[in-house]
Amino acid sequence: MLARTRRELASLLTDELAPLRKLSMAIMADPAMALRVMQRANAVPHRHFSAEIVMLEDAAHMLGTQALLRLESEASIAEEVLDAERLASYRRSAGRAVLAGLLAQDWAELDRDRFPSEVSLAALLNNLGELFLLAHGDARINRYLELVESSHVLPHEAEYVSLGESLEELGHVLAVRWKLPEMVREAMRARNARYLRTLCVMLATQIARDAFSAWRHPMRMSDLRLAAELLNLDLPSLIQRINRVLGAFNPTAARYGLGSLALLPLERDGRLSATTHEPGTPSFCLAPREDDYLACLAALSDRSLPDRESVFATLLRGLHRGLGLNRAVFAVYCPRRRTLSAEFLVGTDFEPTFNRFSLSLDAGGLFGELLEAPSALWLNEETQADLLPRIPEAIVELIGDTRFFVMSMWVKGRPVGLVYADRRSASCRLDARSYASFLRLVRQAGLRLEGLEPE
């Protein structure tokens, strides 16, 4: 925890008249202390709470003053255990998490959510994996932060080249192990962008990232538009709300080693005055890793995978890490509703619009045709003129780059969905060898799914 948090909590906990709300807000100002409080509260049986505790107010009330004092006194102080470089990065990451929590709280209250504090806590702890590596001194995190904050590389691509693991997955594993609330855990899953409460958490995390980039991040306009859609606001109204939250955050920025964050400027007619930054040419393309690909292929072939989720996790790992494909998605087919919906995804952590993919086959065009028989295609420069007009315009806009691999997956004679993969940018080209490997991996996953079906 931060030294200032210890001083503030020590003062509040000795004041018997301090309001519980004020106490919980002091805890919310420090992700590490919030984590400890929630972890301890959900680990202790209590006759007054039959379900898990999901809000800091309830956790603080259940633990009581003496338990909170012990937690505060036992906690390591960041300023004492981290060197100067790690401390600066840790404080900055903590400040970004706090801003995300404040944004999520404001938006949940606007949306008349029953438990805004639950949504706020999930946003506060959404970058748990990043904070964990910073606190524990993993040297790789410095390169990751440099790529994300200075070069505006998308987080999962920065993970690919600097960490070798997913911060989203690390955060989720820790949240499960530490028995954090379901909302905290599920907001770390990209596929849950389809649900409005978890989407609120994801967007608050991204808008906080955009604010920390001084509104220069190339994804900021898509983030703002989706947040406006989520909250049923026009852009000027959304920006005014964001600026009010920033105004509340800035007086506390110094505790995180920050100066005041810039507000989003507006012209008199309510339009954004800053130049729109759109995603440009990526800094690098993801390199295939044959050992990862072969390991995933072997796992899908040897009947060691016990369930459907592990099959798709292995398939998408093989496509993403094995073949270096930036985005890979399995969209499940619902025959009753005749829809395709994103279910398993990799490489799309910070693209909630993509993660909310849903398509009615009544207007499915080319994707609907692929479900009529086992089939696959590679949309490239040679096939684009013929195939592109058969793809719904909304899907073309969603995908962005119109070069991809896609294959229908069938199990025991019936379609179960589509597997889609791309390299996001036209400057990172797909090739025939990757296409052949894509087909082989998807076919093997289909065979493994058949093996899991009862006879």
The pLDDT tens digits of the residues spanning 291-304 come to: 999 999 999 998 88
- Do the beta carbons of residue 330 and residue 344 sit within 8 Å? yes
Alpha helices in 113-217 (DSSP H): 116-124, 128-135, 140-145, 155-162, 167-177, 182-186, 196-212
Answer yes or no: are the C-beta atoms of 387 and 422 closer than 8 Å.
Answer: no
How far is the C-alpha of 246 from the C-alpha of 312, rounded, in Å?
40
pLDDT of residue 68: 87
Burial of 300 from C-beta contacts in 10 A (0-12 / 13-18 / 19+): buried
Q: Is 309 exposed, middle or buried (0-12, 13-18, 19+ CB in 10 A)?
A: exposed
Judged against a pLDDT cut of 90, whether residue 284 lies above it is answered with: no
Burial class of residue 32 in the structure, from the number of CB atoms within 10 Å of its CB (0-12 exposed, 13-18 middle, 19+ buried): buried
Digit-coded pLDDT (tens) for 211-236 = 999 998 888 898 999 999 999 999 99
| Partner residues linked to 408 by β-bridges | 418
How many other C-beta atoms lie within 10 A of the C-beta of residue 146? 14
The confidence score (pLDDT) of residue 276 equals: 44
Query: What global pTM score does this model have?
Result: 0.87
Say if residues 213 and 154 touch (Cβ distance below 8 Å): no
Is 203 in contact with 230 (CB distance < 8 Å)? yes
Give the separation between CA 322 and CA 299, rounded to whole angstroms.
13
* Exposure class string for 251-279: b at 16+ Cβ within 10 A, else e: eebebbebeebbbbebeeeeebeeeebee
CB-based contacts of 452, cutoff 8 Å, min separation 6: 307, 308, 311
The string of pLDDT tens digits covering residues 317-363 is 999 999 999 999 999 999 999 999 989 999 887 788 888 888 888 87
Predicted pLDDT of residue 10? 85
Q: Which two tokens stand for residue 6?
A: 């210890």
Residue 143 has pLDDT above 60, yes or no: yes
pLDDT band (50, 70, 90) for residue 275: very low
- Does the pLDDT of residue 148 top 50, yes or no? yes
Mean pLDDT for the chain overall: 89
Mean pLDDT of 426-451: 94
Number of helices and strands (H, E) in the chain? 22, 6
The whole-angstrom separation of Cα 250 and Cα 162 is: 31
Q: How many CA atoms lie within 13 A of 118 on its CB side?
A: 17
Instruction: Return the pLDDT at 50.
Output: 57
- The Cβ-side half-sphere exposure at 367, using a 13 Å CA radius, reads 30
Task: Report d(CA 145, CA 89) in Å as an integer.
Answer: 8
**Percent of the chain, pLDDT > 90?**
56
User: What single string gives the DSSP state of each residue in 352-410?
Assistant: HHHHT-EEEGGG-HHHHHHTSSS-EEEE-TTTHHHHGGGS-HHHHHHH-S--EEEEEEE
